[in-house]
Amino acid sequence: MRAARFHAVGRPLQIESVERPQLRANDVLIRVRAAGMCYSDIHVLDGVIAADPPVTLGHEIAGIVEEVGSGVTGFGKGDRVLVHFLSPCGRCKRCLQGKGMQCLRLFEREGYGFSDDGGYAEYCRVDAERLIKLPDDLGIEFAATLGCAGITAYHAVKSVARVKMGESVVIYGAGGVGLYALQAARLAGAYTIAVARSEARLRLAESLGADHVVNAKESNLRREVRRLTDGAGADVVFDFVMTDESIRNSMGMLASGGRLVLVGVSNKPITIDPQITVLKEFSLLGSLVGTKDELEELVGLAASKRIRSVANRAFTLDEVNEALTMLRRGEIVGRGYVVP
Amino acid sequence: MRAARFHAVGRPLQIESVERPQLRANDVLIRVRAAGMCYSDIHVLDGVIAADPPVTLGHEIAGIVEEVGSGVTGFGKGDRVLVHFLSPCGRCKRCLQGKGMQCLRLFEREGYGFSDDGGYAEYCRVDAERLIKLPDDLGIEFAATLGCAGITAYHAVKSVARVKMGESVVIYGAGGVGLYALQAARLAGAYTIAVARSEARLRLAESLGADHVVNAKESNLRREVRRLTDGAGADVVFDFVMTDESIRNSMGMLASGGRLVLVGVSNKPITIDPQITVLKEFSLLGSLVGTKDELEELVGLAASKRIRSVANRAFTLDEVNEALTMLRRGEIVGRGYVVP
Amino acid sequence: MRAARFHAVGRPLQIESVERPQLRANDVLIRVRAAGMCYSDIHVLDGVIAADPPVTLGHEIAGIVEEVGSGVTGFGKGDRVLVHFLSPCGRCKRCLQGKGMQCLRLFEREGYGFSDDGGYAEYCRVDAERLIKLPDDLGIEFAATLGCAGITAYHAVKSVARVKMGESVVIYGAGGVGLYALQAARLAGAYTIAVARSEARLRLAESLGADHVVNAKESNLRREVRRLTDGAGADVVFDFVMTDESIRNSMGMLASGGRLVLVGVSNKPITIDPQITVLKEFSLLGSLVGTKDELEELVGLAASKRIRSVANRAFTLDEVNEALTMLRRGEIVGRGYVVP
Amino acid sequence: MRAARFHAVGRPLQIESVERPQLRANDVLIRVRAAGMCYSDIHVLDGVIAADPPVTLGHEIAGIVEEVGSGVTGFGKGDRVLVHFLSPCGRCKRCLQGKGMQCLRLFEREGYGFSDDGGYAEYCRVDAERLIKLPDDLGIEFAATLGCAGITAYHAVKSVARVKMGESVVIYGAGGVGLYALQAARLAGAYTIAVARSEARLRLAESLGADHVVNAKESNLRREVRRLTDGAGADVVFDFVMTDESIRNSMGMLASGGRLVLVGVSNKPITIDPQITVLKEFSLLGSLVGTKDELEELVGLAASKRIRSVANRAFTLDEVNEALTMLRRGEIVGRGYVVP
């Protein structure tokens, strides 16, 4: 079968022919139908995120079950499925506390699309434990993008920031994750303000229900957000940009007691002002991806049309490197995905 | 009456004679019996914290009621009282949510010892709303140090970090606030590790119930804390030092899902690594002082001997500048206080 | 001025002429424009809720400021206002914890429409502290019904049950409070099932966004709810009926770990099965009304059209006794209100 | 080997000879050294709790590993171990939320001492997943009683009631679970009041750190508790008695916003007053046993002497029926245990 594989930092993915994977007892073979593209792929190429080369990238994986291992129950050929690509151990202190994203062994275990072969391939082998069955009426491309962008946003909004009805929320950065976070915050009953540098993204944010949009290039960004929040500032800012500038802006937008949620990957240190952090009792909260339980919930919410798809640009396996270049340049509005 | 007053940044306090304050309807005149000394006093002298000169410093104020205004009920001459020196408005959104330290008008209102005359004086005038009556068996010097050091620690442990039984907690910095935080964390059922550079402070921490003490100069500080927490790292670190070095160490000591609580005042930016913050889902939590409700609770816990005094060095009003110099040099172990 | 006043248990309200109230320094005189009708009025007539006769009933009060006391700031003649009819003290332990509905002195203080004259009158005198200014585009009848029905629902959903995105919620009883609770739960991102005996109410629930409606007369009520929640049962049931039958049904609908919220007033003891309560770790949560902070939030959500009005039947002051009889008989679908 | 087995409701346990169990791949064979006695055993005999006869009772099981199955890692012969007798599935929605006691399949799975053979036998076979290794310095009898009494108390205090520092807590019933709950509440920083009918139990409660003890026979029980809590009432009552009388008393002792935690098993309906529940916003919280994670924490706290043993009466296997009779009559103060 054909796959887009990562071999070394600084080199493009190699589209090559590999063996179809053999199944162990608890494995399921998925015929990949859509694999969403995430900025983390670029971080792997750049060496910011460590992966185990050679490895097939693609961690937003949806498809059709082709074959199941001897010990698998609950899944059968033809089932439409979505992969939860991280593998909390289920037994450590954090897992037993319901904090799978803080699993003490999370990075020692399977990570499809990073340490284990992922979805930029015709087939993908996954432990049955990590699969979610999809409702019939949920588009497979939409589903794929929930696997990382969607669940990352949902977890950040629901479990990390714990956004509540009536709160004001800023979405700082309106890429794939941001657009799902916007929808999740709105679904939780919050007022939403989307901040981005691209007018196209701001228009999309508006169409997805943002109460206000503000261009990040605006000189009075912080003042504008304060104005839109009755002078008090926002209750929550989700910062998907994570530069010194965005952090400074984010903290300048927050009300006393506000929460600043950091989502995404960056190896550049950020600077914070401890004084305002203490005087206003801010919380800075790191948010990783999300648990399988949250992903199941999100799939249900998507199927019932409370969350809408931002998957809007398909690529073939052969186009994957060009597509990643477009992603790097910010040329994809919404989420791109590969159809192998 | 005599008072130690702040006139300008960079100049020592001036011990001078001022008028005894006139009472308004809701005021109480307190004969100050002990006024704890806090590093914030030094921040005022250095211009790091803004105050309204000329003003009498001293925000940890305990004493005896001398006189009450015409509208005051519930207090009378001779009552032993403690001052809650900040004044949440009680009506804004945050106050109604029970978050008085995040009051949207906190710094527009009375702040005894900063914007309004404080306790380094023979008498101090305070709105009756801000007073707590003291149990007979609670030493007045002990009580005074609860007014800022104690309540800051208690709030950080109980309401910001929400320390729970069985958690492991690092107290990084064992000054007055740290030593109360150590006791509060222990009272909440946590395992405690005290980190400091001074052996005298570590010995005091031990005598107050620290399960382990580690000298911060130790080259393997982070590894040592990890060893003491079964390799997993601490659930919570209270960082009272707030330098780049301490923050780096603190984050290196934390378990996945850990909370890093920032307490105190500093105008030096700090640098954090966003990657570990996200990958381990850390929370960085600013913590200010504490509410009157929390101070009342703490007074009760102190009176019932669950929290012990760290007030252990008395100074006269005339010695206040020397005492502040000692405080600046780290020569006071425990909490110093002025007896006017 | 004319007012509908309660004189004794068992007797209808008396429509009579009384003096226009005199203002004290902090009072505001409101020209009542709409006063919502609540089942609690009937409880007062029946002696189930204690009131202080003679007293003007009506605790859902909206109108126009006619005059303000000498000490009032922030309100002036012509302002459109809504009354928060309960008066938490703002100083007790619970108030300082942000739990105004658990104020230790709640029932010693003003309760407009119960212990103090309420809104079934041309004018009503209220402490300025209890007033909320209304946005221009919010209908005054709608606003009135938020004052008890709306805020009771909002508080129960947001602060007591703490309904979260993706949860399944049963609204058991679709009167005024139930219909607002339905909307609040939906706004919080939950799946909603409305249960009632009246088809008219179920239709209204559907039009307000209920995902499912079930007639309470159905023999398989519990099984039906379980079917609609994938067999697991609901995460939350709001029981507005509070009879032995409804409680038994409610507990039979709940998933393990479920929350059963009791809202409303009843003097009939209810029976619960401790075994299922323990084995499934149910929570039974009493919910009273809501805080002023919550009411302000709700007003904002209503003004931004996230909550829709259920005020749909107007009565004159002279019709108030007939209207209460209709309410008692369940003949009012939605919320009735008096226009004095 | 010899075992005390349950054959039918209404009949005493039968001490008989049975085969030593065969190990499957993931099993461990434990040589039982202590098996604590729980009132649930009596509920099984009485038919209040369903069990699967014939079955060996005893669900508080500590001992020494005798043999391990072929697939077991992490345990070896000679290890001192404690059994977590319930088996949450680890995969359902509740388990992934960290709520193992609300597992949707909890009662379909192993329950040692109820549906699967327990510890009133020379040997006991347990899935390795359910084992906790004991620290060397923790007495095996003490450890055994943590397996149900201890963990039930710890879970109720920490995870259900979420007792916080400075709260006032009533322990209503001072049997084995109550005495551990008393210690857990105290460890969490609460003020504790023990209520029981037996002076011997009240003396034991006192020696374990109760701040106050009150005899339940006292006519002014509720008033006495109110007096001891400054008139406000208790923040939390743990009701281990669960009769109409105890519930009425418990609710009469609670402060506004108070939590009433129901622990234990009873098939007798209880009556509650919905009016006070709503007016004071009480929470009634069912609490089952506790998770393995909590049990590991508790073992650590016991080993570090923050919780003390209440195991104080040993019986042989032959004495088990007499011992259960004593337990039924309330003649065992503290926790009894069987040494097979």
pLDDT of B87 above 90: yes
Same-domain status, D204 and D242: yes
Contact call for A98 and D99, based on CB within 8 A: yes
pLDDT one-digit tens code per residue, B11-52: 999 999 999 999 999 999 999 999 999 999 999 999 999 999
Instruction: Tell me, yes or no, whether D323 lies in a domain.
Output: yes
Query: Measured between alpha carbons, how far is A306 from A157 in angstroms, rounded to an integer?
Result: 15
Tell me the CA distances in angstroms from B254 to A91, B168, B235, B264, C97, one per residue in order. 20, 10, 6, 20, 29
What ranges make up the beta strands (E) of chain D?
2-6, 14-17, 27-36, 55-56, 60-68, 80-83, 123-127, 131-133, 168-172, 191-196, 212-215, 234-239, 254-263, 270-272, 283-287, 311-316, 335-339
Shortest CA gap A335–chain C (Å): 23
User: Do residue D99 and residue A99 have CB atoms under 8 angstroms apart?
Assistant: no
pLDDT of D219 reads: 80
Query: B111 with B104: CB under 8 angstroms?
Result: no
Structure confidence by residue, pLDDT tens digits, D100-158 = 999 999 999 999 999 999 999 999 999 999 999 999 999 999 999 999 999 999 999 99
Domain boundary among B271, B286, B301: B286
B205 lies in the same domain as B118: no
How many independent structural domains does chain A possess?
A: 2
CATH code for the domain in which residue A229 is found: 3.90.180.10
Q: Which residue type sits at C57?
A: L
Phi-psi region of B218 (alpha: psi -120 to 50; beta: other; left: phi over 0): beta
Whether the bond into C54 is cis, omega within 30 of 0: yes
D143 and D212 inside one domain: no
Residue A155 lies in a domain: no
Q: DSSP character for C292?
A: H
C300 touches chain A (CB under 8 A): yes
> Given an 8 Å threshold on Cβ–Cβ distance, is A293 in contact with D97?
yes
Residue D218 scores a pLDDT above 90: no
Together in a domain, D282 and D296: no
Q: How far apart are alpha carbons B327 and A84 in whole angstroms?
A: 55
Residues (pLDDT < 70) of chain A are none
- Single residue among D259, D286, D313 that ends a domain in this structure: D286
CB pair distance less than 8 Å for A288 and B267: no
Taking an 8 Å cut-off on Cβ atoms, the answer to whether A97 and D98 are in contact is yes
Tell me whether residues B189 and D301 touch, CB distance under 8 A. Answer: yes
Q: What is the pLDDT of residues B283-304, one digit of tens each?
A: 999 999 999 999 999 999 999 9
Contact across the interface for D268 and C284, Cβ inside 8 Å: no
Residue of B nearest to C97 (CA): B98
> Which domain, by its residues, includes A333?
2-148+290-339
- 1-20 in chain B: CB under 8 A from chain D: none
Q: Model confidence over A185-225: pLDDT tens digits?
A: 999 999 999 999 999 999 999 999 999 999 999 889 999 99
Listed in sequence order, the residues at least 6 apart from C46 whose beta carbon sits closer than 8 Å to its beta carbon are C9, C10
Q: Which pLDDT tens digit goes with each residue over C250-302? A: 999 999 999 999 999 998 999 999 999 999 999 999 999 999 999 999 999 99
pLDDT score, position B317? 97
Measure the CA–CA gap between B314 and B318, rounded to whole angstroms.
12
CB of D133 less than 8 A from some CB of B: no
Could you tell me if B189 lies within 8 Å of chain D, comparing CB atoms? Answer: yes
Cβ-defined contact of A293 to D93 (cutoff 8 Å):
yes
β C254-263/B55-56 pair status: unpaired
Q: Label residue C165 exposed, middle or buried (CB < 10 Å: 0-12, 13-18, 19+).
A: buried
| Same domain assignment for residues A136 and A50 | yes
Cα C185 from Cα C163, distance rounded (Å):
7
Handedness of CA C180, C182, C187, C188 (dihedral sign): positive
Q: Is C227 on the interface with B (CB under 8 A)?
A: no
Element (H, E) at A211: none
Mean pLDDT rounded to a whole number for chain A? 97
Is it the case that residue C66 has pLDDT exceeding 90? yes
Question: Across all residues in chain D, what is the average pLDDT?
Answer: 97
Q: Is B89 on the interface with A (CB under 8 A)?
A: no
- D-contacting chains (≥3 CB pairs under 8 Å): A, B, C
Distance of CA D64 to the CA centre of its chain: 22
Whether residues D96 and A96 touch (CB distance < 8 A) is answered with no
Across the range B81-104, mean pLDDT stands at 96
Burial class (CB in 10 A: 0-12, 13-18, 19+), D229: buried
Smallest Cβ–Cβ distance between D293 and the set A93, A291, A292 belongs to A93
* pLDDT classification of C218: cutoffs 50, 70, 90: confident
Mutation test of the interface with chain D: which of C284, C287, C289, C291, choosing the one with the most D Cβ atoms within 10 A?
C284
Instruction: From chain D, pick out residues whose CB is under 8 angstroms from the CB of C191.
Output: none
| Other beta carbons within 10 Å of A231 | 10
- Select from D165, D184, D298 the Cβ nearest to the Cβ of B188: D165
Strands C27-36 vs C60-68: parallel, antiparallel or unpaired: antiparallel
Q: Across the interface, do B102 and A262 touch by the CB < 8 Å criterion?
A: no
pLDDT of residue A288: 98
- What was the pLDDT predicted at B218? 84
Under an 8 A CB cutoff, do B293 and C90 touch?
A: no
Put simply, whether A91 touches D (Cβ < 8 Å) is: yes
* Same domain membership, residue A38 and residue A89: yes
> Which residues in chain A (102-131) have CB-CB distances under 8 A to chain D?
129
On whether residue C19 sits in a domain, the answer given is yes
Q: Is C101 on the interface with D (CB under 8 A)?
A: yes
pLDDT tens per residue, range D226-239: 999 999 999 999 99
* Rounded Cα gap, residues C192 and C199, in angstroms: 17
Q: Based on the fold, state whether residues B168 and B247 are members of the same structural domain.
A: yes
Distance from CA of D296 to the nearest CA of A (A): 9
Chains near A (3 or more Cβ pairs under 8 Å): B, C, D
Q: Is B53 on the interface with C (CB under 8 A)?
A: no
Query: Is the CB of residue C71 less than 8 Å away from at least one CB of chain B?
Result: no
Question: What chain A residue is nearest to B231 in terms of C-alpha separation?
Answer: A104
Q: Is D202 domain-assigned?
A: yes
Q: Which residues of D touch A93 (CB under 8 A)?
A: 293, 296
A175 and A218: one domain?
A: yes
Residue type (1 letter), A206 = E
Nearest CB to A293; choose among D96, D292, D293 = D96
C212 and chain A in contact, CB less than 8 A = no
Q: Which is more confident, C78 or C312?
A: C78
- The DSSP H or E segment spanning B276 is helix B274-279
Residues B294 and B281 in one domain: no
Residue B246 domain-assigned? Answer: yes
> Which residue, among B311, B314, B340, has the nearest Cα to B5 in the 3D structure?
B340
Please list, in sequence order, all residues whose beta carbon lies within 8 angstroms of the beta carbon of residue D71, skipping any fewer than 6 positions away. D25, D26
Question: Is A232 domain-assigned?
Answer: yes
Selecting from D154, D165, D300 the residue whose C-beta is nearest the C-beta of B187 gives D165
Does D160 touch chain B if contact means CB atoms closer than 8 Å?
Answer: no
The reported pLDDT for the residue numbered B219 is 80
Most C CBs within 10 A among D91, D254, D256, hence the mutation to make, goes to: D256
**D113 and D24 share one domain:** yes
Evaluate whether residue D155 is within a structural domain: no
Q: Do A257 and B94 touch (CB under 8 A)?
A: yes
Comparing alpha-carbon positions, the chain C residue that sits nearest to A166 is C297
Q: How far apart are CA C264 and CA C180, in angstroms?
A: 14
Give the closest of B242, B270, B277 to A286, CB-based.
B277
Q: D184 and D304 share a domain? A: no
Kindly tell me if the per-residue pLDDT of D250 is higher than 90.
Answer: yes
Last residue of a domain, one of B254, B270, B286: B286
Phi, psi of A236 (to 5 degrees): -140, 135
- pLDDT tens digit sequence for A8-60: 999 999 999 999 999 999 999 999 999 999 999 999 999 999 999 999 999 99
* Chain D residue whose CA is closest to C257: D102
Task: Reply yes or no on whether the pLDDT at D309 is more than 90.
Answer: yes
Q: Does C73 touch chain B (CB under 8 A)?
A: no
Question: B91 at the C interface (CB within 8 A)?
Answer: yes
Q: Please indicate, yes or no, whether residues A39 and A116 belong to a single structural domain of this protein.
A: yes
Contact at CB, B274 and A266, closer than 8 angstroms: yes
Question: For residues D69 and D56, what is the distance between their CA atoms, to the nearest angstrom?
Answer: 21
- Cβ atoms of A205 and A186 within 8 Å: the answer is no
- What pLDDT is attached to residue C219? 80
What is the spatial order of strands in the sheet that B2-6 belongs to?
B14-17, B2-6, B55-56
d(CA C307, CA C36): 17
Q: Count CB atoms within 10 A of the CB of residue B196.
A: 28
Residue D41 lies in a domain: yes
ipTM of the complex: 0.97
Identify the pLDDT of residue C233. Answer: 97
With an 8 Å Cβ cutoff, is A36 touching chain D?
no
